[in-house]
Structure 1
Amino acid sequence: MKQVNGHQIIQLFETWAPKRYAEDWDPVGLQVGQLNRSVTKVLVSLDVDERIVDEAIARGAELIIAHHPLLFRPLKRVWTDTPEGRIVEKCIKHDIQVYAAHTNLDVAEGGVNDLMADALQLENTTPLMKSYGEDLYKLVVFAPLENAEAIRQALGDAGAGEIGEYTHCSYEMIGTGRFTPSERAKPHIGRSGEAEEVEEVRIEVILPHFSKSRVMKALLQAHPYEEPAFDLIPLAQQTDEKGLGRIGTLAEPMTLRGFAEHAKRALNVPAVRVVGDVERSIKKVAVLGGSGSKYIHQAKQQGADVYVTGDMDFHTAQACEKLHLAIIDPGHHAEKVMIAGVAEKMKTLCQEAGYEVEWLQSEVNTETFTFL
């Protein structure tokens, strides 16, 4: 096992929940500190407040990974007599780094919404709505026959040609390449000023936008020509499609009353708010962690009998009654399932990578509401 710094931890984390999955408005990523410091312990929490920072200090954690961003809105100034300022000051004084994984962790497979769906024992789950798709390109490159295998391998190793569970996918066709090098050229084949014909192979691969620069660098390094001929064509389709929320089915139908009790136990909350006839039968369930009231129509269109989400307001609840869509509101804090989920996932990833890091689960209750 080897010691690591914050950069290595976050690079590993982002193989699971990359920042590109996040919504445009979401301030995910490093919020306080710097990632080039050594990390031996990471504290996973739902929120970041002064109690969480004190917990990190007491337990010896150098890095906090939280679901809810500490700095959700940009600060124009840092005054240390304000709540946010005190937290930032304390983190800096104690060399604690704060990293936020918000909607990217909602979207990621095995993230917040999958954890909630698993807790509710939903089966055959799919995203409630698409929120992310990676733009695709087709790279077409022409190369001498004897270099084709090396170029294909380099492109595949850089991330081109990944289709579903298959890697290094490509298509090729033999043809004739013609060119005349100028007097200043240094051709790999042929002589300056003389027309040349070469038997070449046309290689086609598909690549996602996020790997474009890496693939192009690999192409230029592997290709023998001084000026490789290639086309990079944007495609209409996307890959790596992800989505917010989940929708699935129960193994057996339940009444809304019974499912509400089940949800309360499964999500470990003291109470839930319910909209709808408590004796109606429930089979298909939509779930979205946090505030999901603006997605009621997506839940209805997907055929959900009940929608489990937090922060439901009165008028939206009335609209759900009219839609005959039952609601169970376990509160925003039900997302706390991510604490154990993230800690266990990252413990496994670190073990596989050979990283010597201890993953701590926050024991501070950050639920704002008290239920009497």
Structure 2
Amino acid sequence: MFAKGQTVIQLFEKLAPKHYAMSDDKIGLQLGTLQKEIRKVLIALDVTDAVVEEAINEGIDLIIAHHAIIYRPLPHLQTDTPAGRLYEKLIKHDIAVYIAHTNLDVAEGGVNDMLVQALGLTELSSLEDVHTDKLKKLVVFVPQTHHQQVLDALFTAGAGWVGQYSSCSFSTPGTGTFLPQEGTTPFIGEAGKLERAQEVRVETIVPESLQRKAVQVMIKAHPYEEVAYDLYPLELAGKVHGLGRVGKLPGGATLRELAELTKQAFDVPAVRVVGDLSRPICKVAVLGGAGSRYVRHALFAGADVLVTGDIDYHTAHDAAAAGIALIDVGHNVEKIMKRGVADYLAAQLVKTQTQVIASQVETEPFQFL
């Protein structure tokens, strides 16, 4: 059985939810339809003509890419332009294109986590906090016979986390009353007769991002036809997600040694370096993509070096004057997401016949001589 397009994306968005994206980011389905069976998914950094040819040859139904193919409003769709020819080819071969950009950068296990994992950094924190998952208090009234069943369902759905403590809840016994009306089939009691039931008031914490899922599994595990529950917003802040990462480099290294490590870890032929190559490096900031405007964030975090891409000339001078080193590994370093996302999604789709492959096309536009 092949997975439907919507199912593939729902599973992918468990890794990179849309609400993690920056407000002006161009993400989501950009071309084609998800209302079809997906036999093969291609994970790509960019959607270039060569990547589309690869998709056609592989029999791909859906491309999940990091960089948008439609970034600005289209004034026209002329098929004698490079972009128009690309869109035409995708449409003719019924290949849908879905984009995950800053939401995949921010996500736990996303692009930036893949980069720091490749470098072996520890004691990680975000370079810039961009999203805080709001918390809700979920209260539900359950008959004593199903108390643990409902609790287990909620915990499995991700409810009950307070900091590093899981399965957190509070339960209070009491008496519930209800009068089933004509046409009902109550779990306890009978229609037309006031019922008093020994119930338990269950309270737990639910992140707003998991609220819908938690309520669904709670209702499914609950024996009543009509489930009595409440949701309250809390002032308590939930988990914080951010762009970039800052971490410790175990054992330390010189700037030269770290530059060599990045070339090997990220499979890049060359890097540009700002700073004294003999300088000792202990704390490293990492940001996939263009990172010029994050130099001050790295400085504020106490990093010795910022590893990123697309550093411009004046930013390099400013960083040198401020005393922070830079390693420009290029924007294409984000290609690390191809294998990482392909492995994640393949594991999610293991019970289906849908295949997931990582693009083998090199989309680095620069040549290094």
**TM-score by structure 2 length?**
0.85
Name the counterpart of 1:205: 204
Q: CA separation of 1:150/1:254 partners in 2, compared to 1, >3 Å: closer, same or farther?
A: closer
Name the counterpart of 1:345: 344
Residue 68 of structure 1, CA deviation: 0.8
Please tell me whether residue 130 in structure 1 is matched to residue 129 in structure 2. yes
Residue 50 of structure 1, CA deviation: 1.8
1:293-332 map, 5 Å: 293-332=292-331
Q: CA separation of 1:288/1:158 partners in 2, compared to 1, >3 Å: closer, same or farther?
A: closer
For the 8 Å contact 2:77–2:84, the answer to whether it is kept is yes
Of 359, 362, 365, which aligns to 2:362? Answer: 365
Please tell me whether residue 8 in structure 1 is matched to residue 7 in structure 2. yes
Distance 1:193 1:361 in 2: 62
Residue 286 of structure 1, CA deviation: 1.0
For the 8 Å contact 1:139–1:207, the answer to whether it is kept is yes
- Cα RMSD, aligned residues only: 3.2
Distance 2:145 2:348 in 1: 40
Aligned residues with identical type, % of pairs: 46
Distance 1:278 1:71 in 2: 40
Distance 1:148 1:362 in 2: 48
Which amino acid in structure 2 is aligned with residue 309 of structure 1?
Answer: T
Distance 1:59 1:285 in 2: 39
Which amino acid in structure 1 is aligned with residue 7 of structure 2?
Answer: Q
Residue 73 of structure 1, CA deviation: 2.4
Please tell me whether residue 55 in structure 1 is matched to residue 54 in structure 2. yes
Which amino acid in structure 2 is aligned with residue 58 of structure 1?
Answer: N
Please tell me whether residue 174 in structure 1 is matched to residue 173 in structure 2. yes
Distance 2:272 2:9 in 1: 37
1:105-144 map, 5 Å: 105-142=104-141
For the 8 Å contact 2:182–2:191, the answer to whether it is kept is no
Greater alpha carbon shift after TM alignment, 32-41 vs 94-103: 32-41
* Count of aligned pairs between the two proteins: 366
Residue 94 of structure 1, CA deviation: 0.4
Of 337, 342, 352, which aligns to 1:355? Answer: 352
Please tell me whether residue 71 in structure 1 is matched to residue 45 in structure 2. no
Name the counterpart of 1:283: 282
Q: CA separation of 1:276/1:94 partners in 2, compared to 1, >3 Å: closer, same or farther?
A: same
For the 8 Å contact 2:275–2:324, the answer to whether it is kept is yes
Distance 2:154 2:240 in 1: 22
Name the counterpart of 1:96: 95
Residue 81 of structure 1, CA deviation: 2.7
Which amino acid in structure 1 is aligned with residue 303 of structure 2?
Answer: A
Q: CA separation of 1:199/1:45 partners in 2, compared to 1, >3 Å: closer, same or farther?
A: closer
Residue 135 of structure 1, CA deviation: 1.0
Superposed CA offset, 1:133-158 (max 9, x none): 21110023445555645554554565
**TM-score by structure 1 length?**
0.84
Residue 327 of structure 1, CA deviation: 0.5
Distance 2:181 2:256 in 1: 84
Greater alpha carbon shift after TM alignment, 61-70 vs 240-249: 240-249
Which amino acid in structure 2 is aligned with residue 257 of structure 1?
Answer: R
Distance 1:75 1:32 in 2: 13
Greater alpha carbon shift after TM alignment, 236-245 vs 64-73: 236-245
Residue 159 of structure 1, CA deviation: 4.7
Structure 1 residue matching 2:238: 3-state secondary structure: strand
| Alignment gaps of 5+ in structure 2 | none
